Amino acid sequence: MKKLTRFFACVAMATLAVLTVLRPAMAQDSLYEERLGAGDIIRVQVYQSPDLTQETRILESGNISYPLIGATKVAGLTIPEAEAQIAKALKAGGYIQQPQVTIAQLQVRKKTVTVLGAVGRAGLYPLEALNTRLSNILAAAGGIAPGGSDTIILSGKRDGKPVRQEIDVAATYLDNKLANDVVLASGDTVYVHRAPLFYVYGEAGKPGPYRLERNMTVMQALVTAGGPTQRGTERNLRLTRRQNDGSTKESKPELTDLVQSDDVLFVRESLF
């Protein structure tokens, strides 16, 4: 009997341990699903006040218009928080002494992120978990395509205000800039532009456009283009670079100089 009792005690302790581990994750999932947001349709009811029952859609501003108290922001709140906020406003206005407010979600907005540009599979992707990060969505979209840039453009809204951010994805891991792996929000757009290019012409083995790699030097660019031909020389190279005002400037670069996006490198013919 004592062994049986000890066995059930061990089972109970193990079950409690598992629930302790799972509870934070379960709480996060529940919290994510209960958050109200623009596009949700909700029903608001007040106990013993049927005239205050209302079905409404949460606007893009995050507000609903509710009888007696007017515009009230509920987006971003959990259902209990929104119930408490409306109850507080009704009591503060002197309309109901002890209001008991209940809110039901009739239709939940679809939480999605749009991925465009040079990725494996552009499209609309759902935010299926709390704290979905940029790396998660890029992975779902098949990653950045071979011709895509390491820097992506993220646009969306935060606190009702438009935001735009350029994020160096490669630096997240190469330079340990983990803060670049931002948490996405519903309605965000992730755009991957084409990779920056440089151009080589003249007496080069393989003239043409090439992808600009990180910290690429003039010498590395020349090697990428096949080096000088038998008639060409790496001496007296000419580099044409676009200026901020849209004009171009020609210079004689050193082999150790860094190449920039849209640079044009001219390999001259040897004089001998």
Asked whether the predicted pLDDT for residue 153 surpasses 50, the reply is: yes
Mean pLDDT to the nearest integer, 221-226:
96
Residue 57 and residue 66 in contact, taking contact as beta carbons nearer than 8 Å: no
Segments of 58-196 assigned E as strands:
63-66, 70-73, 101-107, 112-117, 123-126, 148-158, 161-168, 189-194
pTM for the predicted model, two decimal places: 0.60
List of domains in the chain: 41-107 (3.30.1950.10), 112-194 (3.10.560.10), 197-267 (3.10.560)
> pLDDT exceeding 90 applies to what percent of the chain?
64
CA distance 252 to 239: 6
d(CA 86, CA 80): 10
Q: What is the pLDDT of residues 68-87, one digit of tens each?
A: 999 999 988 899 999 999 99
Q: What is the mean pLDDT of residues 220-229?
A: 95
Contacts for 155-163: CB closer than 8 Å, 24+ residues apart = 155/188, 155/189, 155/191, 156/184, 156/185, 156/187, 156/188, 156/189, 157/185, 157/187, 158/185, 160/60, 160/61, 160/62
